[in-house]
Amino acid sequence: MTTNTDFSFSLGELSALSGALLWAGSNLVLQTQSQKIPLLLANVARCATGTLLFWVMLPFDDPLTAFRQVPAHEWAAVFGSMIVGVCIGDTLFLVAIKEIGASHASAVGSIQPLTTLFFEWILLRSGVSWTLFVGSCFVVLGVICLSRAPRNAPKPADSIRSKRFTVGILLALLTALFWGLSTVLLKAGLTTLTPIQVNSVRLPFVTVILYTAWTLGSKKTGKPSMSSLLLIAGTGIFSMGFGSLLYLMALSKIGPSKTSALISTSPVFSLIMALVFLKEKISLRLALGVGLCVIGVWWVSI
């Protein structure tokens, strides 16, 4: 048995990497506007414009009669993925960030490709290739390097180092578990409906959830910048619109585990864009993270 060592990609793999690129670009814009608009409201705006895009595309996709043919268990998988991933997973992640900071929470949460691999094996009874497992591990290590706080960053207080730190780590681990389960459930919901049809239902549901969370949790901190809100809403066409479409296309073609591993390379694209557009400096740690992710992508693609 021979192994193809060419750095070539299938359509599904290219879809996942392209989705990661679009998400990275959108996140870079979000980073530049983060002081002018609440993060939750920004995500509401992105999801709303993504929803409008899919509703415009819906009449040009497969016949709408397909919605009546979806069995109950597929609807349960679609909505279950959103409840598990957004309502529970994202909420736990935000609490983890509050407890241990964004860098630690992101590093622990980046093991999602491995939890996706686990749930795909358990729930979908899919075989796991050793190259996919090795590649996922490299991607996870690379993302951990990219999400670690720099050495000169302020050290957490003693209180965070003890119980709160332990709780935060556990919450971040649970986040990775729920995100992995959400990815596998979403794959199960892509049997009858197309990616456009699924997103035309999925994104409005997520938008309502995020808007409700923002409304309940928002404080009177002044009016958000309208220009920033419109800019971020515009990026939603590319991130939550085309990026989400590419993500579901990849999910339907190459499965949850490979999609999760490739889409997790988004921080690599974010770093490259930050170097080019924001003139950020690269360190040995960041270079190592990029290298590990590239090696991981190569292992996943062979």
Residue 71 has pLDDT above 70, yes or no: yes
Residue spans of the domains in the chain: they are 11-59+67-216+226-301
**Residues 293, 287: Cα–Cα separation, whole Å:** 10
CB 112 within 8 A of CB 182: no
**Which amino acid does the sequence have at 75?**
W
Residue with tokens 């499965």: 255
Nearest one of 8, 11, 19, 17 to 298, comparing CA atoms: 8
Q: For the chain, give the percent of residues with pLDDT over 70.
A: 87
CB 109 within 8 A of CB 171: no
Q: What is the DSSP code string of 73-134?
A: HHHHHHHHHHIIIIIIIIHHHHHHHHHH-HHHHHHHHTTHHHHHHHHHHHHS-----HHHHH
226-236 and 39-57 helices, crossing angle to 10°: 40
> Could you read off the pLDDT of 193-248 as tens digits, one per residue?
999 999 999 999 989 988 888 888 766 555 777 888 889 889 889 988 999 999 99
- pTM of this prediction exceeds 0.75: yes
Residue 1 has pLDDT above 50, yes or no: no
Mean pLDDT, rounded, for 131-153: 75
Termini Cα distance of the chain: 13
**Residues 211, 42: Cα–Cα separation, whole Å:** 10
Mean pLDDT, the chain, rounded, equals 82
